[in-house]
A and B are shown apart, each in its own frame.
Chain A
Amino acid sequence: MIEIGRLCVKTAGRDAGKKCVIIDILDGKYALIDGETRRRKVNIIHVEPLNQKIEIKKNASHEEVAKVLDELGIKALQTKPKPKAAKPLKKRKTPEQLKAQKEEKKKLRNIFKPKKKEEKAESKEATLEEKAGLAEQKKEEQAEIKAAKPKSEKRAKKKED
């Protein structure tokens, strides 16, 4: 039953239930098909022959198959060719543009650069002074609190409890 020109129905895959024609037989195990289905190699098990036969050349092109099937009222699958998008051309940058780019990159680099030693020392002294001032203030505050609430009161309360 499986021969070139035999009308078939595909029984497996996404093209299952669609009609096709056998164009070629490969190794007696696989067949090349075309028609409502995609043009492809299939296992003979995945194709169910019908009792109709068409006269067709071996390895016929898709257009020929479409023409023959059109007479039988079977519409062959038409794949839309993809529109070719023009590749964007790469343009070389002018020397001025390159200079501007370099400067921008330098600026960005400077943000993350570690500070120099002198700068660091200055900043440290400033912070230390600030800290010292704060520390003095803190000590004063604590002393005031202590004066307001002497420890002896707390101890006396505890003893009462």
Chain B
Amino acid sequence: MPAPRLRSRSLRRVFRKVPGGRVSLQYKKQRPKTAKCGSCGSSLKGVPRAFTFRMRSMAKTKKRPERPYGGVLCSKCMRQSIIDKARQ
């Protein structure tokens, strides 16, 4: 049985091949997932993959691209939505 503190699901389990040849189970800290586009689901560029405490100390301009819907939609979806609106 692993140690009680390792039995919590707040840790990630990773199977690693050890230099000795056997496969061992290692416990890693979970990283936040990358930000996703609200319409197409692709990962957003310019949005850091950092913990909230680190994001809080960051400047607003460092957290998302500076355009309308920056940090919510990807640039392609944003452009398409604007074009669709203009052509109506």
Q: Which residues of A contact B (CB under 8 A)?
A: 9, 11-14, 16-17, 48, 50
Contact = CB atoms under 8 A, between A and B. Distances in A.
Contacts, number: 25
A17 B68 CA distance: 8
> For chain B, which range describes its interface: under 10, 10 to 19, 20 to 34, or 35 or more residues?
10 to 19
Nearest to A49: B86
A6 to B, nearest CB: 12
22 contacts: A9-B82, A9-B83, A9-B85, A9-B86, A11-B79, A11-B82, A11-B83, A12-B67, A12-B75, A12-B79, A13-B67, A16-B67, A16-B68, A16-B78, A16-B79, A16-B82, A17-B68, A17-B82, A48-B83, A48-B86, A48-B87, A50-B86
Pick the 9 closest A-B CB pairs, nearest first: A9-B86, A48-B86, A11-B79, A17-B68, A11-B82, A14-B66, A48-B83, A16-B67, A14-B67
Secondary structure dominating the interface of A: loop
A127 to B, nearest CB: 53
Nearest to A13: B67
Contacts of B82: 9, 11, 16-17, 48
Contacts of A11: 79, 82-83
Contacts of A17: 68, 82
Contacts of B87: 48
Q: Which of B66, B75, B85, B86 has the most CB of A within 10 A?
A: B86
A11 B79 CA distance: 5
Nearest to A50: B86
Interface in B62-88: 66-68, 75, 78-79, 82-83, 85-87
Interface in B47-73: 66-68
A69 to B, nearest CB: 17
Contacts of A50: 86
A9 B79 CA distance: 11
A38 to B, nearest CB: 13
Nearest to A15: B67
